[in-house]
């Protein structure tokens, strides 16, 4: 694997953001910045061997700083929404910073996606590792506890990579990390509807009008949201009449080695298989993109032009006692992993 580093741009206090580029033997090219622990570019060969840009991203730091779309970013401390931007632990209520009218979204205005992470590179015989670390101080965005966060990207020459999310705290707190890559396996020549999607999920979480879970899971078998088998999204009239922005409940009882999600583009032949330890996956068909941002190769990112597959714990878990817990206590280690495998067929 070839690896090189380039400067991305200057932040406040003269600190410099970098991008780490990985060129794999089987063709994958992955770029990751320590600004936001962000996947800034991902290229995969199509059937003809031509490299296709399969994630939304920008070539310069300024555009990331000016964008509210979280392109490729690591999300924390808490991915997705927390009702009223608040939760209670041991009788003490914490008011988080709100960045939507009634909620906190993706860790607040200045969440992990806007932090500069310390980067260390390890070159091993079998893989290359980029370890990114950030110490989130007590009360940052309102969250309790000094939180030591580590996000590790492990990259293999076989067109695959893993993201490991780890954290430790010195006070009880809630954590839920994710990655917010916008995938388009046609290279943004066709929209989300041209993709085939499979999600190994038996339900999705019902939402209220503030896009917060009601606590109820709706079963998917036999409905338009049944994705047990690879399904062409346009055939289901998704994303036009059924724009996707739901947390699917991954079938953890399924002991098969099947992926938790698959995204495929019939024209380029590019297939992404995702495996995760997380209980949920937010499938989001870029409903809020509006063509206002232009990225790699002059592409303007339009509504429904990509699919995000954000593996995560369930939204608003701190306020939903029936959901799997996101509480992290001092002395405990938070660890989640998501693996991404690409092939072309």
User: Is 310 one of the binding residues for ligand GAL (CB under 6 A)?
Assistant: yes
282 lines the binding site for ligand GAL (CB under 6 A): yes
CB 61 within 8 A of CB 9: yes
- Nearer of residues 122 and 288 to ligand GAL, judged by Cβ: 288
Question: Where does this chain touch ligand GAL (CB under 6 A) — which range of 58-66, 193-201, 236-244, 280-288?
Answer: 280-288
**Which tokens belong to 198?**
């499979």
Q: Is 340 in the site for ligand GAL (CB under 6 A)?
A: no
CA proximity to 275, closest of 257, 289, 292, 287: 257
Binder among 245, 251, 258, 343 for ligand GAL (CB under 6 A): 245
**With respect to ligand GAL, which residue has the nearer C-beta, 127 or 282?**
282
Establish if 71 lies at the interface with ligand GAL (CB under 6 A): no
Stretch that binds ligand GAL, among 113-121, 142-150, 222-230, 282-290 (CB under 6 A): 282-290
- The answer to the question of residue 69 lying near ligand GAL (CB under 6 A) is yes
Q: 59 or 245: whose CB is closer to ligand GAL?
A: 245
Phi-psi region of 84 (alpha: psi -120 to 50; beta: other; left: phi over 0): left
Among 4, 122, 242, 288, binds ligand GAL (CB under 6 A): 288
How many whole angstroms separate alpha carbon 145 and alpha carbon 151? 18
Distance between CA 62 and CA 295 in Å, rounded?
Answer: 12
**Is 317 a residue that touches ligand GAL (CB under 6 A)?**
no
Residue 310 is a catalytic residue: yes
- Mark 107-126 with x for binding to ligand GAL (rule: CB under 6 A) and - for no binding: --------------------
Q: Which of 233, 232, 234, 225 is nearest to 207 (CA)?
A: 225
Is 100 a known active-site residue? no
Q: How many CA atoms lie within 13 A of 23 on its CB side?
A: 5
Closest separation between CB of residue 209 and ligand GAL, Å? 13
Longest Cα pair distance anywhere in the chain, in angstroms?
60
Residue 334 as a binder of ligand GAL (CB under 6 A): the answer is no
Point out the catalytic residue in the list 166, 168, 196, 310. Answer: 310
Q: Which of 180, 265, 296, 304 is catalytic?
A: 180
Q: Is 63 in the site for ligand GAL (CB under 6 A)?
A: no
Reading phi first (left if > 0) and then psi (alpha if -120 to 50, else beta), residue 188 is in left
The Cα 149–Cα 216 span in angstroms is: 31
Contact window for ligand GAL (CB under 6 A) among 23-31, 218-226, 263-271, 281-289: 281-289
- Contact pick of 8, 70, 161, 204 for ligand GAL (by CB under 6 A): 70
Hey, which bits of 170-314 come out as E strands?
Answer: 173-174, 178-179, 182-183, 196-199, 201-207, 213-219, 231-232, 245-250, 261-264, 270-276, 280-284, 307-312
What DSSP string runs through 38-103? EEEEEEEE-TTS-EEE-B---SSHHHHHH-SS-TT-EE-SB-SEEETTEEEETTEEEEPPPSSSSE
Contacts of ligand GAL in 134-173 (CB under 6 A): none
State the catalytic residues. 180, 310
**Residues within the interface to ligand GAL (CB under 6 A):** 69-70, 80, 105, 211, 245, 282, 284, 288, 310
């Amino acid at each position: 694997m070839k690896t090189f580093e380039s400067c991305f741009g200057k932040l406040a206090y003269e600190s410099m953001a970098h991008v780490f580029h990985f060129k794999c033997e089987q063709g994958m090219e992955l770029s990751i910045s320590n600004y936001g622990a962000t996947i800034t570019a991902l290229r995969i060969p199509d059937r003809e061997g031509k490299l296709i840009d399969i994630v939304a991203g920008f070539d310069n730091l300024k555009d990331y700083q000016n964008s509210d779309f979280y392109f490729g970013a690591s999300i924390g401390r808490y991915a997705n929404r927390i009702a009223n931007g608040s939760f209670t632990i041991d009788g003490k209520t914490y008011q988080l910073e709100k960045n939507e009218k009634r909620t906190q979204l993706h860790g607040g205005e200045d969440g992990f996606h806007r932090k500069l992470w310390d980067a260390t590179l390890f070159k091993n015989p079998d893989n290359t590792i980029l370890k990114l670390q950030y110490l989130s101080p007590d009360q940052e965005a309102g969250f309790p506890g000094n939180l030591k966060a580590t996000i590790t990207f492990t990259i293999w020459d076989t067109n695959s990579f893993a993201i490991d999310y780890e954290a430790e705290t010195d006070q009880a707190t809630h954590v839920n990390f994710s990655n917010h890559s916008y995938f388009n396996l046609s290279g943004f020549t066709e929209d989300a509807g041209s993709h085939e999607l499979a999600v190994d999920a038996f339900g999705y979480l019902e939402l209220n009008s503030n896009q917060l879970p009601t606590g109820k899971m709706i079963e998917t078998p036999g409905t338009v949201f049944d994705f047990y088998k690879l399904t062409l999204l346009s055939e289901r009239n998704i994303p036009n009449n059924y724009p996707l922005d739901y947390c699917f409940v991954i079938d953890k009882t399924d002991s098969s080695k099947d992926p938790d999600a698959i995204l495929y583009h019939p024209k380029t032949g590019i297939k992404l298989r995702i495996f995760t330890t997380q209980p949920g996956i937010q499938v989001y068909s870029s409903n809020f993109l509006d063509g206002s941002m232009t990225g790699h190769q002059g592409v303007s990112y339009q509504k429904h032009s990509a699919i995000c597959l954000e593996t995560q714990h369930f939204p608003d878990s701190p306020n939903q006692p029936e959901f799997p817990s996101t509480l992290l206590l001092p002395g405990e280690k938070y660890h989640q992993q998501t693996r991404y495998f690409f092939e072309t067929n």
